């Protein structure tokens, strides 16, 4: 028997009307989120992330298309009957209720028995690590603790899915990173499907099973963090996720599934390509900064990409140093070097350097 997806959008589209203008917030979209999956929507402000969440939760109805939860068509079903919960950046806790009562609120309203409430609230407070803080009021809790109360309050109802819209946006960096790890642990423990909205690529890469990268109301690429990072499908995805090095060129030759882009004597980029690519075809190649080796001496390996350039900029980051290198290809490439002892003083501004990387770290964008 085939298990239905936790969430499915089939041709879901949402247009708003604002001051007589049509705003296509979400273009016709198909999307499936598996049970127990940690699924992220990632993209810049205004790309349609919140609209997508509100369509799943039932706070908006689609202009076209169908929303399914656990295989049931819920289009037109009001939010309180969809069995999904939403957590926002503003926690919206009841200020006059303590932690325990904030979490118990939904269960009390549904007339769940006192003993059962005590058991379930205790269990969920334990999972979110708030045991001992039952009597505190929201104003007596830190931002991170308040966020955990909000999370506990949403999870105690045992929703089919939890929708989290930039829930860590108000926290400072250190706390945010800590909560990223915590959220992932909590999700694993409760086994609930999470749909997570963020505009922070690090956050999405760290936490997600799969990511949908959105742009202007469309999903530009959907895949695992590794796929999205290592094999960006479009220029936009390459640029939005991590530091992108993009090289334009034409295939000089193609042999054994590898195209060679030649930029001059000894200057070439090797990239694996599908059979459809022919010599002369224009190619756009992405290579990540940590994949490139930088040295002042000419490298040996003939089977690798090699370019020469001049260091324009050096930035020390603690664990790594980033070098911006002006190359003869027309592109400036960023190279990350780990700060091991041997890497000290690798190169400075104005130095002529060799860049090298193996073919598998080049990825052709938009080629099928």
> If you search the block for the tokens 């991170």, which residue do you land on?
144
Q: Which stretch binds ligand ADP (CB under 6 A): 40-48, 175-183, 230-238, 294-302?
A: 40-48
**Strand ranges in 70-169 using DSSP code E only, listed in sequence order:** 72-73, 84-87, 161-165
Please identify, among the stretches 38-46, 73-81, 244-252, 315-323, the one whose residues bind ligand ADP according to the rule CB under 6 A: 38-46
Name the minimum Å distance from CB 218 to ligand ADP.
11
Q: How far is the CB of 217 from ligand ADP (least distance, A)?
A: 7
**Binding-site member from 51, 198, 327, 362 for ligand ADP (CB under 6 A):** 51
Q: For residues 355 and 269, what is the distance between their CA atoms, to the nearest angstrom?
A: 10
CB of 69 within 8 A of CB of 84? Answer: yes
23 binds ligand ADP (CB under 6 A): yes
Place of tokens 């060679």: 260
- Check residue 45 for interaction with ligand ADP (CB under 6 A): yes
Query: In this complex, which beta carbon is closest to ligand ADP, that of residue 78 or of residue 266?
Result: 78
Question: Which residues contact Mg ion by CB under 5 A?
Answer: 50
Is 216 a residue that touches ligand ADP (CB under 6 A)? no
Residues 6+ apart with CB under 8 A from 229: 205, 241, 242, 288
Shortest reach from residue 39's CB to ligand ADP, in Å: 15
Given phi > 0 = left and psi -120 to 50 = alpha, else beta, which region is 261? beta
Restricted to residues 128-167, the positions that interact with ligand ADP (CB under 6 A) are none
Is residue 61 part of the contact set for ligand ADP (CB under 6 A)? no
Min dist. Cβ of residue 26 to ligand ADP (A): 7
Separation in Å, CA 144 to CA 140, 180, 199, 216: 12, 11, 19, 31
Minimum Å gap between C-beta 16 and ligand ADP is 3
46 touches ligand ADP (CB under 6 A): yes
Please choose which of ligand ADP, Mg ion, none residue 47 contacts, taking the beta carbon within 5 to 8 angstroms, the exact cut-off set by kind.
Answer: ligand ADP
> Should residue 320 be labelled a site residue for ligand ADP when binding is judged by CB under 6 A?
no
Least Cβ distance, residue 80 to ligand ADP (angstroms): 20
Nearer to ligand ADP, 46 or 122 (CB): 46
The CA distance from 26 to 123, in Å, is 38
Nearest to 28 by CA among 45, 10, 42: 10
What DSSP designation does 298 have?
A: P
Rounded Cα distance, 209 and 38, in Å: 5
Told to check if 48 binds ligand ADP by CB under 6 A, we report yes
Query: Residues 6 or more apart from 322 whose CB is under 8 A from it?
Result: 243, 289, 314, 315, 334, 335, 336, 337
Q: What is the DSSP letter of 348?
A: -
Contacts of 253 (CB under 8 A, 6+ apart): 259, 260, 279
Nearer to Mg ion, 196 or 357 (CB): 196
176 interacts with ligand ADP by CB under 6 A:
no
Could you tell me the smallest distance in angstroms from the CB atom of residue 46 to ligand ADP? 4
Q: Binders of ligand ADP: how many residues, by CB under 6 A?
A: 12
In angstroms, what is the minimal distance from the CB of 215 to ligand ADP? 10
Q: Does 221 bind ligand ADP (CB under 6 A)?
A: no
- Nearest C-alpha neighbor of 128 from the set 62, 179, 91, 170: 179
Would you tell me which residues interact with ligand ADP (CB under 6 A)?
A: 16, 18, 23, 25, 43, 45-51
């Amino acid at each position: 028997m085939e298990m239905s997806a936790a969430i499915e959008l089939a041709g879901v589209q949402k247009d708003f009307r604002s001051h007589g203008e049509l705003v296509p917030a979400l273009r016709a979209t198909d999307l499936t989120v598996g049970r127990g999956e940690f699924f992220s929507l990632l993209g810049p402000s205004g790309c349609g992330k919140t609209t997508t969440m509100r369509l799943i939760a039932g706070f908006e109805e689609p202009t076209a298309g169908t929303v399914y939860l656990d295989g049931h068509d819920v289009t037109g079903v009001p939010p309180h009957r969809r069995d999904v919960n939403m957590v926002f950046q503003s926690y919206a806790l009841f200020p006059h209720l303590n932690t325990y009562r904030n979490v118990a609120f939904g269960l009390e309203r549904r007339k769940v028995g006192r003993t059962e409430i005590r058991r379930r609230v205790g269990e969920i407070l334990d999972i979110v690590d708030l045991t001992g803080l039952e009597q505190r009021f929201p104003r007596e809790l830190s931002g991170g603790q308040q966020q955990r109360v909000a999370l506990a309050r949403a999870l105690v109802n045992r929703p089919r899915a939890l929708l989290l819209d930039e829930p860590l946006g108000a926290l400072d960096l250190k706390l945010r990173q800590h909560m990223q790890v915590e959220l992932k642990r909590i999700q694993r423990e409760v086994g609930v499907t999470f749909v997570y909205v963020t505009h922070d690529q690090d956050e999405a890469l760290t936490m997600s099973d799969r990511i949908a990268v959105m742009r202007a109301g469309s999903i530009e690429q959907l895949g695992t963090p590794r796929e999205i990072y290592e094999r960006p499908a479009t220029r936009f995805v390459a640029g939005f996720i991590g530091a992108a090095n993009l090289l334009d060129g034409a295939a000089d030759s193609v042999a054994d599934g590898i195209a060679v882009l030649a930029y001059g004597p000894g200057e070439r980029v090797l990239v694996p390509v599908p059979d459809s690519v022919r010599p002369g075809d224009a190619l756009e190649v992405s290579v990540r900064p940590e994949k490139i080796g930088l040295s002042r001496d000419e490298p040996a390996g003939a089977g690798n990409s090699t370019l020469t350039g001049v260091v324009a900029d050096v930035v020390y980051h603690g664990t790594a140093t980033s070098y911006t290198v002006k190359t003869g290809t027309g592109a400036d490439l960023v190279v990350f070097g780990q700060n091991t002892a041997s890497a000290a003083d690798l190169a400075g501004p104005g130095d002529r350097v060799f860049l090298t990387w193996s073919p598998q770290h080049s990825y052709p964008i938009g080629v099928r």
